Every structure is written in structure tokens, then in C-alpha cells.
Chain A
Amino acid sequence: MNPWDGLLYGLSVAFTVEHLIAALIGALLGTVMGLVPGIGPVSGAAILLPLTYVFDPLTGMIVIAGMFYGIMYGGSTTSILLNIPGDAPSVVSAFEGYPLAQSGRAGPALGITAIASFIGGTGSVIVLSMVAAPVAQVAIVFGSAEYFALTLGGLLVLARIMGGSLTAGLLPLAFGLLLGVLGEDAISGDARFTFGVREAYQGVSIVALAVGLFGLTEILRIIIQKGSTPYVGSLGWRQLIPTTSDMRNSAGSWFRGSGIGFGLGLLPGPSISLATLLSYRTESMVGRDRHKFGKGAVSGLAGPESANNAAATSSMIPLLALGLPFSATLAVMLVAMQVHGIQPGPQLVTTNPDLFWGLIASLLIGNVMLLVLNVNLIRVWVAVLRVPNWALLPSVVALCWAGVYTFRLSWFDLAVAAALAVIGFFMVRYNFQLVPVLLGALIGPLVERHFRQGLTAANGDLTYFITQPIAAGIWIAVLLVIVALPIVRWFLGRRRKASLVTTANEHHPSV
């Protein structure tokens, strides 16, 4: 099936009244979650996960796709209106968005954001639909050596990308790998490090990890700051629709941002944040209204917002084609699919084209829903922002408890989530990264499986892992990224604001 037929077929599967309502619910819930301080895409999606249990697989995926985009849009909204980014990718949105809102142009700023997100997301979905199936075709011949290179190499790149120093990424990665070992060994059936606790046999659940490390940790961080209820003043709703000159100033930025986002989204790690930063930096040099940068330049908002959604979408290619999630958000997406019995990977497109193309179409529907919702409901979002912290944060804690427990009906998961909240609090405080913990725990078992299976297949010959041509190519790419990265960081760090962002990134690691 060629990509266009596939996309049309997917739309024909996904385009029913029931599915549209599902997308609407997802986008609505996602946006509300994105508005809640401390709830980024990772913990937001994890908390909402139980809500999708009742749907059939495709409907569940459509709800999740809607949430995925909704959460990111919600994060941008708080950035623009309050200068409080909901998550790392929306840090950049505050640079130009907040000054715009301050000068009474909050409406157009949110409008530009909605259009930019739509263009970035939709363009990226269309390219994704063309690329994902061919990549899956290539991946179908991958053996243990290739998967070992992809999983371990991906984790090492991630640990190196996150944080400035080696320690900040490597120590959390080792911690995560260790958490991943806990539980029943998939090959031998041995119960490892369970100390006789029956509930621990299943291992550490991703929901407990995501909610504990990203949701509860952030809530603790907000609670300990006194008087932290945000204030939303009168925002001057002179008009919601951007002016013609706004459109003219941001038109080029939408496409540049989409391109940057799509390319960087393919990298493991905090690629979405990196994409928004790089797009901001690019717009500050070539944007039409670059002379207004820092005082509310529309192009500095439009570019990064397109990059944000484009990267979020293209980062799904490795997930769909290889079954490997390389960001914390995608890890939750993967679990959401597994809950519904969908195992993404090279086989999905051939064994289950309904789901594969339906999933891609659902991303498209999610994007459209978001545009429809946001243009109409901006006033409602502002009302949500006025809910004081004393009412909001405890409610989120109760929701976290309920969400973690109901995932596997396990007290062990609850205990793990609560313990990780406290550990995560201190890790964030002292500049340790949280994402490698989550991905180490999730991908670690895959590394182990392919390592052991590979050794068995190669009769104990360790050179097997680097002599297979594709695996060797992946290892060379891993080395290149690790070497090239300091250069990119230097480029981004030249601007003072960019260095501020790296600080903010470390404090909002919910990529």
C-alpha cells in the first residue's frame, strides 16, 4: 500500500462520529492536563492512561493521540499567558509569547500557536506516513545485533545529550537500568531483587515511574515554594484572530520550524526541546520581524511551536517502525498501545494495517481537533488557569494515586511512585536528569534480551555485535552524535536566553 492510499485508508477507518468524539475528549483532557502546573506530557499521559482502558484499541489510540497534542498545547498556553512553561518544550514559547500577552495581544499569540502547532503537526504526519512503512520494511531483517546497537546506543546518546556533565546523565541511566532488572527475568524466569515480595515480580511499572518521577516530583517542587498560585490578570482580548501582518511575519517560520522539528525529532532524547531552541535561534537570525525579538516577535513564537509539534510527531517514527520509544512521552505511548494489545514495530504495518494507518490518521484527526478546540475555547483555558494551587495540586495528587494503583491494582506500584517522587526531587535539585531513569528502566530489559539472545545466536562471540554491517553503522552514528553534540550546544549557548533555557530544561525535564 503506498503512503497516500494508506493515509486515505486510515482516515476511512478512523473517520467515524465515535472516533471524532474520542479525539475531542482526548484533546480536551490533554489540554486541561497541560495547563496544570507540573504536569507535563509524560505524567499527564500516564495519569490519563487508565481512562483509555474502556475503549477498543483504535479508539483508545485516537484518544491518546488527541491527549498527546492537547497536553503540549496546554503547556504552551501557560508559557504565553503566565510565563510558566508547563514542560520543557514550551519554555521557548514564553520568550516571545509572554511579551506578546503582556502587550495585550494574548489572543493573537494563542491563535498563532494553534495554527503553528497544526501546520507543524500535520506536515510531520504526512511525511511520517511516507517514511514509516519503508523504515519498517528495512527493520524487518534486524536481528539481535541491530536491536542491541539501537537500544544501548540510543540510551548512551540520551544519557550524553541530557545534562552538561557525564555524571548527570550516566548515573541516572545506571539507576534506571537497575530498576529495569527488578522483577521476573523474561528468559530464565528467575525472580530478581524481589526479596520475596509477590507484587514485585511484575517489575516496576512505567506508570509508577512516569507519575512518580515527573508528576509527583514536580508537585513537591511547587508545593515547597510559598505563595505559588499564579495570577492571571485581565489579558486584553481585543481580538483573537491574528492580523494579516502577524500571518505574513509567521508564514515562513511555520515551515522552517516544521523542517527543523521533523529532523531533530528523529534523534533520541530531549529532541523536542532541542528543536524548539534551534528554531528560535534560527528565527532570531532570519525571521521577518527579527528586530522585535525579546519584545514579542511573532516569528519567534510561530517557529518553535511548529518545531514542537513536528518533532513530537516525527519522534514517533522509531516507535512505529522499530517499536523503540526514545523519549519519556513515547514510552508512555508505547505502554498505552501495549495495554490495548498493540505491539508497534516492523510487523505492525503488515500484520495490522488497520491499526497502523488508523493510528497515523488519528494523529491527523488529533491535530484538527486541537485547532478547532483551541480557537473556540481559549477563554475556558484561561478560566482553568485561575483555579488556585490549593485546589489543583491536591486533586492532582489524588488522581496520581488512583491512576498508579488502577494500572495494575498493585500497592507496590504506589510505593514505588511515592518513593521515586522524593528521590526525583533531590535528583532534580542537584542537576541529575530524570529521563534516563525512566528510559533506562523501560529499554533496559530490551537491551538485556537482545544481548543474551545475540550471544546465544553467535555462540558467545562478542564481536558479533559490531561486525554486522547495519549494527556497525548504528554504532558509528552513535559515536558521531556524541561527538557532534557539544558543537550544537555551543551554538545554542551563544545566546544568553538559550543558556537560561538549559537551566529551565533541567528543572522541567518532562520532555
Chain B
Amino acid sequence: MTTPDDVAPSDPATADEPLEQRSATLAWRIAGVIGLIVAAVTAWIAWHNYPLGTLDRPGSAFFPLLVAALMAVASVIALIEARGATFGYEPIAWRRFGIAAGVILGGAGLLPILGFLPVALVGTTGLAILIEGKFHWKIPVTMTLVTFGIWFVFEQLLGIALP
């Protein structure tokens, strides 16, 4: 059951004021540096592993090298523009983020190995407890129904095998 108290006053989607703007300089610089590294690695791999070909018969290294060049240019622009960059600041509960991201990543990794039913069952129940903030008997019951529901639709109705 939801009550009016459930509405978080800080919910950005319902807040009327624009978000507080903070400097994104560091983040953009990191993005620029990562971009340069990725561009260099891409170019190195393409140069050493795939044929370049000639202008009238370009090989499979040709386009990746051009993309690497674009990436490098974009990264340099990012480093230049970083100085004045801002972003709408929203506080992040890092522990919540870590758990949620962990479930999404871990679930995706384990699902093909352990199968859909066990992974989805544990994953969704964990996420639900994280979102609700406490354990409640409704959570495992609902998630069992949901997991088996999805499994039923894919396996039985659509005839697509899940792992």
C-alpha cells in the first residue's frame, strides 16, 4: 500500500526547480583520457592485426583507424570543454548503487551458467528488498510468481528456450 508519505520530496522528476549545477570538469577530463587511451589501443590493434588495404580497395583496418581518429579528436575536445562543464547534481546512495549494479552485472554473468529460474528468482528478490528497504513476505511470493510468469511466457507460449 502506498501513502502520500512515500513521495520523496527530493524526487527530481517531481521537483519544480532545476537540479543544482555542479562542475563536471573532473568527470569530463577522465572521459577524455579514457577516450584517448581507447583510441590509441583501437588504432594499435587495428594497425597490427588487420589489413589496411589501398584507397581503391580499403581493408578491414581502414574504418577502425578512422573511428579511432574521430575518438581522439572528440577526446581532445572533451579535455578542452571540460573546464566549463557542469552537470545536474543528484545525490547517489553509493551502497544502493553498488548492490543494484552488482545484481544486474552478476545476474547477467551467472544466468547463462546457472539458468534463468534460480538467478532471476534470487536477483529479483534481492533487488526488491533493496528497493523496499526491508524484508516482507510479499516480496519472495511476488518475485516467484513474476519469475515463473516470465519463464512460462517465453518457454511455453513463445517456445523460446531460456537457459
Contacts and interface: CB of A to CB of B under 8 A. Distances in A.
Nearest to A430: B27
Interface string A382-415: 0000101111011101110110011001010011
Given A224-B97, A415-B108, A409 B161 contact: yes
Interface in A221-275: 223-233
Contacts of A500: 18
Interface stretch (A164-172, A366-374, A477-485): A164-172
A220 B132 CA distance: 15
Interface string A81-92: 011110000000
A343 interface: no
Interface stretch (A106-114, A137-145, A180-188, A486-494): A180-188
Interface in B1-23: 2-4, 6-8, 10-14, 18-19
B42 to A, nearest CB: 6
A195 to B, nearest CB: 9
Given A406-B154, A430-B27, A397 B124 contact: yes
Given A227-B6, A233-B4, A394 B11 contact: no
B109 A418 contact: yes
A431 B50 contact: no
Contacts of A414: 108-109, 111-112
A455 B2 contact: no
A171 B2 contact: no
Contacts, number: 259
A226 B56 contact: no
Contacts of B139: 390
A21 interface: no
Nearest to B107: A401
Contacts of A231: 2-4, 6-7
Given A452-B58, A500-B18, A402 B67 contact: no
Contacts of B161: 409
A414 B130 CA distance: 22
A4 interface: no
A452 B131 contact: no
A345 interface: no
Contact of B67 (A178, A390, A391): A178
User: Which of A193, A386, A451 has the largest number of chain B CB atoms within 10 A?
Assistant: A193
Interface string B48-62: 001100111111101
A480 B103 CA distance: 46
Interface string A444-461: 100110011001101110
A187 B59 CA distance: 9
Nearest to B132: A390
Contact count band on A: 35 or more
Interface in B58-80: 58-60, 62-64, 67-68, 70-71, 73-75, 77-78
A8 to B, nearest CB: 34
Interface stretch (A50-58, A297-305, A315-323, A465-473): A50-58
A390 B50 CA distance: 49
A175 interface: yes
Contact of B60 (A170, A185, A388, A462): A185
Contacts of A390: 128-129, 131-132, 139
B162 A389 contact: no
Given A452-B62, A452-B63, A174 B108 contact: no
A422 interface: yes
Contacts of A451: 58, 63
Interface string B104-141: 11011101100010011001110111111100000100
Nearest to A229: B6
Given A223-B127, A406-B154, A460-B54, A178 B71 contact: yes
Interface in A28-68: 50-51, 53-54
Considering the complex of A and B, which 10 residue pairs feature the smallest CB-CB distances, nearest first?
A460-B55, A460-B56, A418-B108, A394-B124, A411-B112, A174-B71, A390-B132, A394-B127, A185-B60, A227-B8
Interface of B: 2-4, 6-8, 10-14, 18-19, 24, 27-28, 31-32, 35, 38-39, 42, 45-46, 50-51, 54-60, 62-64, 67-68, 70-71, 73-75, 77-78, 81-82, 85-88, 90, 92-93, 96-97, 100-101, 103-105, 107-109, 111-112, 116, 119-120, 123-125, 127-133, 139, 142-143, 146-147, 150-151, 153-154, 157-163
18 contacts: A83-B13, A166-B81, A171-B32, A181-B67, A190-B60, A192-B60, A193-B64, A216-B104, A220-B100, A223-B127, A394-B124, A394-B127, A394-B128, A402-B150, A411-B112, A430-B24, A430-B27, A430-B28
